[in-house]
Amino acid sequence: MSHAAIFMFPGYGHVNPTLELSRHLVAAGHRVTYVVEQRHTAAVTAVGAQVVDYVWRRDATGQGAVSGEDIGALGLAFLRESADVILPRALAAFGTDVPDLVLYDLESFFAARSAARRWGRPTGQLFPYVASNEHFSLALEVFGGAGEHVYECIKLVVVRLVAEGREPAEALPLLTNFDRRNLALLPRAFQPRGETFDDRYTFTGHSFATDQPGTGSWAGPAGAGPVALITLGTEVNDRPEFFRTCGTAFADGRWHVVMTVGPGNLPATGVGSPHLEVHEWLPFRAVLPHASVLVCHGGMGSVLEALFFGRPLVIVPHTPEQTLNAARVAELGLGLMVEQAEFDAERLRAAVEQVVADPRFGQRVARMREAMLAGGGPARAAEVVEGWLRERPDADWAHSGHRIEGVH
């Protein structure tokens, strides 16, 4: 029985896409232990994995658009948390029960790679979002305008290495954006510059269970119009103006609108419109089989789930990564992007009507769904990880030949 450790940034869009992979690994007889923030403990243990937890109370990003500077500040804060809390916690918790393989996402690089180096164990990088290589860097897209924070991240890593008696040059492989082993939980067809990704990368298409319990269990009222599902995902929902604008866009009642507004954000006085449902949360899989379109923020989980159920998208992005996803959706003809500067009720309604009325959107979405399913999903991802578990533990991040991408 092999043992895999998984270090993930404490966001739902990071942790949740790995859960089915872990469920498959556990079912195959392997042990899986997550190093993750406490709020994800229940979801992790539900798939049979163990948890080494910690508490991180990060600042909220607040309302409005999120800039590269904001993302850079968050990344620096998590790097400090990784060095001061997460790495020591993981080393102490695993003790002599050293895992055979260390998996991690980009944001967790410091704790994961540092622990793997100390343990002499191989590593594999998970991408629950678009992947990076020598030709495409998600970090450059996301951290644009955050040069000072990037510099501070590099400085922090160098200082920590020197304190351990290591050479400053060892920071370069530690900071690279990708691994020798990489698993992207999306279809290659969606990946920007997908043709440049070599056999170091496996694209598994999606991370969803094909037999998701409760799929299609929601039912709209009899005689209702076409259904639009509207959400800002699981992380940031404190944008009441966005939801009010959506309500205005569909005020004529021709559409049946289902909104998920997040915990604590339900209107105090109710909605008062039979064609408008407002929930704190509702599983997308319950509604998407009945929906004609998903209106969302452009988080990768929301985008892929819409495509998994064959639904076009209208995306109103709030962060640089979401803008990248939205632009890719528009480029591939899977939906439309409405930039925040253009976002109003009229523009939103026109975009929704367009992606539903034009059959070409549906045809392209159907082809992308086929590509997603062909990737093999979580079962294929588990097979790849099992192959890594069988490899000789020869990882050494200080001499692995990795190089940092996008930092000068």
In the chain, where are the structural domains located? 3-205+375-399, 227-373
Q: How far is residue 46's CA from residue 48's CA, in Å, rounded to a whole number? A: 5
Is the domain spanning 227-373 CATH 3.40.50.2000? The answer is yes
Total-model pTM: 0.91
Is the domain spanning 3-205+375-399 CATH 3.40.50.2000? The answer is yes
Query: DSSP character for 60?
Result: P
pLDDT of residue 65: 64
pLDDT of residue 271: 61
The answer to whether 54 and 37 have CB atoms below 8 angstroms apart is: yes
Q: How far is residue 169's CA from residue 99's CA, in Å, rounded to a whole number? A: 27
The answer to whether 187 and 371 have CB atoms below 8 angstroms apart is: yes
Q: How far is residue 397's CA from residue 390's CA, in Å, rounded to a whole number? A: 19
Q: How far is residue 265's CA from residue 177's CA, in Å, rounded to a whole number? A: 36
Phi, psi of 186 (to 5 degrees): -155, 165
Q: How far is residue 137's CA from residue 88's CA, in Å, rounded to a whole number? A: 29
Type of residue at 159: V
Taking Cα atoms as reference points, which of 116, 63, 71 lies closest to residue 94?
116
pLDDT of residue 272: 62
Tens of pLDDT, residue by residue, the chain (408 residues): 899 999 999 999 999 999 999 999 999 999 999 999 999 999 999 999 999 999 987 655 545 567 777 777 888 889 999 999 999 999 999 999 999 999 999 999 999 999 999 999 999 999 999 999 999 998 888 776 556 777 788 888 888 888 888 888 878 778 889 999 999 999 999 999 999 999 999 999 999 998 888 899 999 888 889 999 999 887 666 788 899 999 999 999 999 999 998 887 777 555 668 899 999 889 999 999 999 999 999 999 999 999 999 999 999 998 889 999 999 999 999 999 999 999 999 999 999 999 999 999 999 999 999 999 999 999 999 999 999 999 866 554 444 434 333 332
Terminal CA-to-CA distance of the chain, rounded, Å? 43
Instruction: Look up residue 224 and give its two tokens.
Output: 């209702």
